[in-house]
Amino acid sequence: MDTKKIHIKSFGCQMNKLDSSLVTSALKGKGYLITDKAVEADIVLINTCSVRGHAEERVYSHLGHLKHLKKNKTGLIVGVIGCMAQRLGTELLEHEAVDIVAGPAQIAQIPELIRKTLLNKSKSISITEKIRTAKTKELNKELDNFEFTYDSDENHIHNQAFVRVMRGCNKFCSYCIVPLVRGPEVSRSPQAIMEQINKLSDSGVKQVTLLGQTINSYTYTESNKTYRLADLLEMASKIDGIKWIRFITSHPKNFDESILKAMAGLPKVCKYLHVPAQSGSDRILKAMNRGYTADEYLKLIEKAKQIVPNIAIASDFIVGFPDESDKDFQATVKLVKKAKYKNCFVFKYSPRPGTLTDKKLQDNIPEEIKKLRNMELLEVQNQISSEDNKKFLGRIVEVLVEGPSKKPHLNKAENKNNPQLIGRTATDHIVVFNGSESIAGEFAEVMITNTSALTLFGALNS
Ligand code: 5AD
Ligand code: SF4
């Protein structure tokens, strides 16, 4: 058999990127070649996201292109994997372009699904039936093995890697598809997590980001001891080669003080907290089933700032939730002003089939208003960030260098041997400076000479 080429395209969050990297290295292990050009590929896999309608539309538009490509390239196999595969199942399989459908819990089966499809020339599907009640123990064992075996080169770019500590979500925010496609919360054993971090550290990784949809809910009980996120942070801190430890994403409810204490007390734990508020209106928060009020949320932010000096906090917001009035929106603006975030991600509400909000409430805020609210909130945050970033002027910051900057026009002093690089501070501030590409993956000190809302600019401190 000649060597088949595979192209993998990934949409969505870090979880998906991690899944794609595991699948890539598993397929390489089976002898496939990886190509970054879909037109050269014998097999195209699309790892999909369902969190907003827009992400799904982009996948459909891709499938449209692939349908045409298939006409000129008989035998081309197209697989849709990830959240959209789990959500739509057989409906996706019926799409003219699609040969394979596999959910997020079936990533370990992808090499076998591809083998069968190549052999039998017929469509195949593997998703979890009744995902909220499925017996997940066996599946999780399979996923854990897959994760450990294939967590290789693909998952560490410039000495940074992602480590999943839990899967799924039990929060059931009324607008969110995640609990319906990623299933119930399951925490991985601390032993499996630490083995993986040790392995990554042995291969040169300096920064790990622990991943979980609601990572502060991490709980694992073994021999009468219950491990929480703070324990993981402490255990990971003991691994020599690891210098920085991050974790995303937190939910404001049941946010244990032990996590803040670990952040304050463990020097390797980055002082950055992503804890989405989603709205500043109590009425909307209730409709979203978030389980806290704006005041309770702000108290958590205050506590975080008190226990962890110089902490940087980031948030997500949804604007244009059903029935969101101007008054509700202004409550969100007020919360953003009070919280003084490092940065915010703002999303326009997108109805997701099967979620409680979609079943009960009409998507009744016009697109135009959603857009205006989105822009207004970002503008408020931009002003806060611009002002706050000025504190860095004249300071030397430590960054982990990520590599060449994708927007070199930001800084004019660019040349080939000394290109513009991008790095991140422990507080997740983006820093742009000139230097040799060879320092990607290393720590460096940068003197900050200029700042904007989103970026700090400076020069290597040599
Ligand atoms: N519409 C818009 N944004 C959403 N998010 C989750 N579900 C939706 C939805 N239906 C946002 C939330 C979450 C982020 C990952 O995506 O802000 O924190
Ligand atoms: Fe979705 Fe809420 Fe779970 Fe986050 S916490 S994944 S927004 S249901």
Give 70: exposed, middle or buried? Use CB within 10 Å, 0-12, 13-18, 19+: middle
How many angstroms is it from 51 CA to the middle of ligand 2?
Answer: 10
Residue 58 · residue 90 · CB < 8 Å: no
Distance CA 37, CA 33 (A): 12
Ligand nearest to the CA of 321: 1
* Angle ∠(240,243,244) on CA atoms, nearest 5: 140
How far, rounded to the nearest angstrom, does the alpha carbon of residue 341 sit from its chain's CA centroid?
19
Contacts of residue 433, defined as CB under 8 A and 6 or more positions apart, other chains included, come to 411, 420, 421, 423, 446, 457, 458, 459, 460
Distances (CA, A) of 398 to 200, 267, 428: 22, 13, 11
| E strand or H helix that includes residue 162 | strand 160-164
DSSP annotation of 133 reads T
Nearest to 199 by CA among 148, 128, 264: 148
Give, using CA atoms, the residue closest to atom 7 of ligand 1: 176
Ligand nearest to the CA of 169: 2
pLDDT for the residue numbered 103: 95
How many angstroms is it from 250 CA to the middle of ligand 2?
Answer: 10
Give 418: exposed, middle or buried? Use CB within 10 Å, 0-12, 13-18, 19+: middle
Ligand nearest to the CA of 354: 1
355 phi/psi in degrees, rounded to 5: -85, 160
User: Which domains are seen in the chain, by residue range?
Assistant: 5-126 (3.40.50.12160), 133-270 (3.30.750.210), 393-460 (2.40.50.140)
Distance CA 348, CA 205 (A): 36
Residue 430 · residue 456 · CB < 8 Å: yes
Which residues lie across from 246 on neighbouring strands?
Answer: 209
Residue 357 · residue 391 · CB < 8 Å: no
pTM beyond 0.85, yes or no? yes
Distance CA 336, CA 349 (A): 18
Treating both helix axes as pointing N-terminal to C-terminal, what angle do 229-237 and 257-265 enclose, rounded to 10 degrees? 20
Treating both helix axes as pointing N-terminal to C-terminal, what angle do 190-202 and 136-150 enclose, rounded to 10 degrees? 10
How far, rounded to the nearest angstrom, does the alpha carbon of residue 315 sit from its chain's CA centroid?
13
Residue 23 · residue 171 · CB < 8 Å: no
How many CB atoms are located within 10 Å of the residue 277 CB? 25
Q: Which residues line ligand 2 (CB under 6 A)?
A: 169, 171-173, 176, 178-179, 213-214, 251
How many angstroms is it from 51 CA to the middle of ligand 1?
Answer: 6
Give, using CA atoms, the residue closest to atom 2 of ligand 2: 173
Which residues lie across from 208 on neighbouring strands?
Answer: 161, 245
Taking the CA of residue 51 as reference, the ligand 2 atom at the shortest distance is 1
Residue 6 · residue 35 · CB < 8 Å: yes
Distance CA 404, CA 421 (A): 4
Residue 128 · residue 134 · CB < 8 Å: yes
Residue 397 · residue 456 · CB < 8 Å: yes
pLDDT along the chain (462 residues), means of 10: 88 93 93 94 97 96 94 93 95 95 94 93 89 72 85 80 94 96 93 94 95 96 95 98 98 96 98 98 98 98 97 98 98 98 98 97 98 98 98 98 78 68 97 94 97 96 84
Taking the CA of residue 176 as reference, the ligand 1 atom at the shortest distance is 7
Residue 346 · residue 321 · CB < 8 Å: no
pLDDT for the residue numbered 410: 54
pLDDT for the residue numbered 418: 82
Q: Is 164 helix (H, G, I), strand (E, B) or coil?
A: strand
